Amino acid sequence: MTCRKTDAGRSRIAKFSGVLCVLAGAANVLAAVPIYNVEIVHTYPHDPAAFTEGLFYLNGFLYESTGLEAHSTIRKVRLETGEVLQKIDIPAQYFGEGIVDWHGHLISLTWKSQLGFVFGLDDLKLQRQFNYRGEGWALTRIIMSDGTSELRFLNPNTLRETGRVQVTLEGKPLQNVNELEWVKGEIYANVWQTNWIVRIDPSSGNVVGLVNLSGLLKTTDTVPGQTDVLNGIAYDAKHDRLFVTGKNWPKLFEIQLYRAGETAPGE
């Protein structure tokens, strides 16, 4: 999801304002939810033309989906250099959204077309399509976000919805849950148009941690009118590495979390 999606109207703006209020309140007064800062472990190059919608790490490589009509792609990327090793274009009428790997397949969403694609993970060749109602934003472990406060659970074979859970922060619905990543039994999620990642208990939907990424990308690395919002989370489970980036960001970061008020791990 992106601020360039401008046709959603006043209701979207109102929801966004509510999200900011909830997160601001959390940062200031909600002692029950742990707050984390981040330390940059490594910095890698990232294609500044990539309008990142989905991201995951698998077998030494990043897989990334990019958005915008007539510019949406799915690509396999070398982490260390940012080199695009393999790429397919999504048909021009679709706005590409989140992706996930699942048993040798790469599954992708589109924003408002209510259409998803299943590709072969090795060759990125289209195998089939599937449908869903509403908007498609992100995927992880066959769990889907749609821009609301709800996460949808999909049948791994049919990709039909089997249930939902509402994401809540201190009992209040958290709207605009965006890009998703499964990390050690939790779902990490970007919150659209904010510098926060929320850690979600997938069984209850409760937010169990807040990660503050304010200032991660320096002002000197931004291009006015081009550099967009924080979006994109990938996790290397084998080596316990967490990666984040943003839309049209020139950099991708490996980060390490630490509790607010504690000393950063590298200090």
Say how far apart CA 251 and CA 154 lie, in whole Å: 32
- From first CA to last CA, the distance across the chain in angstroms is 35
Per-residue 3-state assignment (H helix, E strand, C coil) for the chain: CCCCCHHHCHHHHHHHHHHHHHHHHHHHHCCCCCEEEEEEEEEEECCCCCCEEEEEEECCEEEEEECCCCCCEEEEEECCCCCEEEEEECCCCCCEEEEEEECCEEEEEECCCCEEEEEECCCCCEEEEEECCCCCCEEECCEEECCCCEEEEECCCCCCEEEEEECEECCEECCCEEEEEEECCEEEEEECCCCEEEEECCCCCEEEEEEECCCCCCHHHCCCCCCCCEEEEEEECCCCEEEEEECCCCEEEEEEEEECCCCCCCC
Sign for the CA dihedral angle at 43, 247, 179, 130 comes to negative
Q: What is the pLDDT of residues 35-88, one digit of tens each?
A: 999 999 999 999 999 999 999 999 999 999 999 999 999 999 999 999 999 999
pLDDT at 56: 98
Q: 55 and 254 in contact (C-beta within 8 Å)?
A: no
pLDDT above 90 covers what percent of the chain? 83
pLDDT digits (tens, 9 = 90+) for 233-253: 999 999 999 999 999 999 999
Q: 112 is written with which tokens?
A: 């408002």
How sure is the predictor about 225, in pLDDT bands with cuts at 50, 70 and 90?
confident
Whether the per-residue pLDDT at 19 is higher than 70: the answer is no
Task: State the pTM of this model.
Answer: 0.90
User: How confident is the model over 158-212, as pLDDT tens digits?
Assistant: 999 999 999 999 999 999 999 999 999 999 999 999 999 999 999 999 999 999 9
Residue 227 CA to residue 156 CA, distance in Å, equals: 35
The per-residue pLDDT for 27 is 52
pLDDT of residue 28: 53
Q: Which two tokens stand for residue 119?
A: 């590709």
